[in-house]
Amino acid sequence: MIILDGKKVSNEIKDEIAAEVQKMKDRGEKVPHLAAVLVGDDGASLTYVGSKVRSCERVGFESTMVRMSNTTSELELLKKIHELNENDDIDGFIIQLPLPEQINTQKVLMAVNPDKDVDGFHPENFGKMALDMSTFIPATPFGILELLERYDVETKGKHTVVIGRSHIVGRPMSILMGRRGFPGNSTVTLTHSHTKNITQITCQADIIITALGQPNFLKAEMVKDDAVIIDVGITRVPDENAKRGYVITGDVDFENVSKKASHITPVPGGVGPMTIAMLLKNTLLARERHIMANRK
């Protein structure tokens, strides 16, 4: 059994990006600049954004964190997004989700300039991804593809089962695994909360990608021998014996499923670190595109 070590691979990617940024500096070019908009004071969101800012520092990017209060109106946020769209110094930016209930998330994501949408959430970028065109791939699916590629996990002709149909992970993952090329060329089944007899389906899978957010959902009896398991789930489960009062748990019963799997991602340390690394990669891509556009 091989652990798909997202922490290790993400560090390799960050080193590669840092080397590219150094070349930009040596040529006298502006380095990539990533901005993150955080509305409210959600603890998990603050942690995520802080981690993204530190990662920017590590690779030599400029970064800006835009903090807005929990009472921010939709109009105020849309105005801020317009400012970021118009700011030529910023190559890409993200809106940290979830947003407060007074704000329409879809409306906000639609307002982001697709050329700066390094999260890959805008319909224009999602549509290009679905059509196999060059675009920003959502960071988590992008990270999973990179893990599969760097560990040389065979996907051609394999049966991939995706559990969860979110716009951020499940649905794009189902499209990407069925595309031509590597990783891809697999036969994909997309399952969700209304899927009947899900165990019958997962037992046929060569590759299972689960993004459900239900701790320990995928049990050993739901997996065939030598399956590849990608666990996107990350949930804080209360635990009185743990130092912080909780443990981080994925969708997969790791202890038992890992005994049957050929490859598996741990939680934490699997898909999570890859998401931030690929967000940086998308920002580097955005900067390179802006350089090319300015040369025309």
* Catalytic residue numbers, as ranges: 52, 96, 119
Rounded to whole angstroms, the Cα distance separating 3 from 266 reads 7
The answer to the question of whether 233 is labelled as a binding residue is: no
Contact present, 70 and 101 (Cβ < 8 Å): no
For residue 265, CA distances in Å to 8, 9, 146, 175 come to 12, 12, 13, 21
Q: Which residue's structure tokens are 């580097």?
A: 284
The answer to the question of whether 234 is labelled as a binding residue is: yes
Contact present, 145 and 175 (Cβ < 8 Å): no
Rounded to whole angstroms, the Cα distance separating 20 from 32 reads 10
The answer to the question of whether 55 is labelled as a binding residue is: no
For residue 186, CA distances in Å to 95, 127, 137, 262, 286 come to 32, 20, 18, 17, 29
Angle at 295 between CA 289 and CA 296, to 5 degrees: 95
Q: Which residue's structure tokens are 């635990």?
A: 239
Tell which residue, 121, 126, 120, has the closest CA to residue 105.
121
Rounded to whole angstroms, the Cα distance separating 190 from 86 reads 38
Q: Which residues are annotated as a binding site for NADP(+)?
A: 164-166, 234
Q: Which residues are annotated as a binding site?
A: 164-166, 234
